[in-house]
Copies of this chain bind each other. A is one copy, B any other.
Amino acid sequence: MAQIRMETNLLGANDMLAAKNRRIFKARGLLVINLMSSPGSGKTTLLEKTIEALRGRIELGVIEGDLYTDQDAMRIENKGVEVVQINTEGTCHLDAGMIEKAWSRLEHLPIQLLFIENVGNLVCPAEFDLGEDIRVVVLSTTEGHDKVLKYPLVFQQAQVVVLNKIDLLPYTDFDLNAFNRDLQLVNPQIRVFQLSGRTGEGLAQWTEWLVEEVGKRVI
C-alpha cells in the first residue's frame, strides 16, 4: 500500500514539473520530441541521420539519457550538435526534473527542435511525462511485430511510430499487416514512418514531417 501511494505522489510531482517544462518550451516555440524504444532499436543512428538531413535548415539540440555511459552523447556531439548528457545511474527512465536541469544548459541557444533520447526501455519511460510535445516510439523490424500488444502503454501514449531497420525486413519474420492491425487496436491515430536509419531509405518523409512540425510552432 505504501508503495502505491508513493508512486502516485512521485508521478504527481513529475506531472507538475512536466507541465512547467511544457509551458517553457511552448513559450519558446520549441518542438520537443521524446524518443523512446528498446535498447538497440536504432534511436541514436536515427538521430545522427536526422541531424545530417536537417543541417542548415533547423537548429537542433539533444538531451541524451543513458544509464552510465556517454557513448551516445559523443556520437551526437561528433555531428556538431549541442548535447546535454543525463546519466540516470541505473534508473530506468528519464523524468521531468532531469529535463528541467538539462534544459538550463541549453536555454541560451537558438534551438528550434529539441530531441530527448530516453533510456533504452519500452516499459518505464512510458509512465513519465517530460513536458515534450510529441512522443515517438522507435521499433525495429528485428524486434518482432508482436511488441505493440506486448508493450501497449508506450504505443498508446505516442503520436508517432518509427518502424526502423526496414532494410532487414526480408530477413525477419516481421508481419507488417499484423503490426498495422495491432496499432489500429491500440492507437488508431498514430502516424507511422517506415525507414532505415542505416541505409537512409524512407528518411526524407520523416525529416520533412519534422520541418513541417517545427514550422507550426514558429512564434
- Mask, A106-128, CB within 8 Å of B = 1, is 00000000000001111110010
Which stretch from A14-22, A47-55, A63-71 is at the chain B interface? A63-71
Query: What residues of chain B lie closer than 8 Å to A147, measured between beta carbons?
Result: 39-40
Which stretch from A77-85, A150-158, A209-217 is at the chain B interface? A150-158
**Does A159 belong to the interface (CB within 8 Å)?**
no
Q: Is A71 within 8 A of B146, CB to CB?
A: yes
**Does A1 belong to the interface (CB within 8 Å)?**
no
Q: Which residue of B lies closest to A127 (CB)?
A: B90
**Does A219 belong to the interface (CB within 8 Å)?**
no
**Does A194 belong to the interface (CB within 8 Å)?**
no
**Does A198 belong to the interface (CB within 8 Å)?**
yes
- Mask, A185-198, CB within 8 Å of B = 1, is 00000000000001
In angstroms, Cα B51 to Cα A106, docked, is: 53
Instruction: Classify chain A's interface size.
Output: 35 or more
In angstroms, Cα B173 to Cα A127, docked, is: 32
Q: Which A87-111 residues have C-beta < 8 A from chain B?
A: 90, 92
Q: Is B6 within 8 A of A122, CB to CB?
A: no
Min distance, Cβ A10 to any Cβ of chain B, angstroms: 7
**CB-defined A-B contacts under 8 Å, sample of 21:** A38-B40, A39-B143, A40-B142, A40-B143, A40-B144, A40-B147, A67-B123, A67-B151, A67-B152, A68-B150, A69-B149, A69-B150, A90-B153, A92-B92, A92-B121, A119-B123, A121-B122, A121-B124, A123-B124, A124-B124, A168-B168
Further contacts, 17 of them, CB under 8 A, given A68-B149, A120-B150, A173-B198: A38-B40, A38-B120, A39-B151, A40-B142, A67-B123, A67-B151, A67-B153, A68-B150, A90-B153, A92-B121, A120-B151, A121-B124, A140-B142, A142-B142, A167-B171, A168-B172, A171-B171
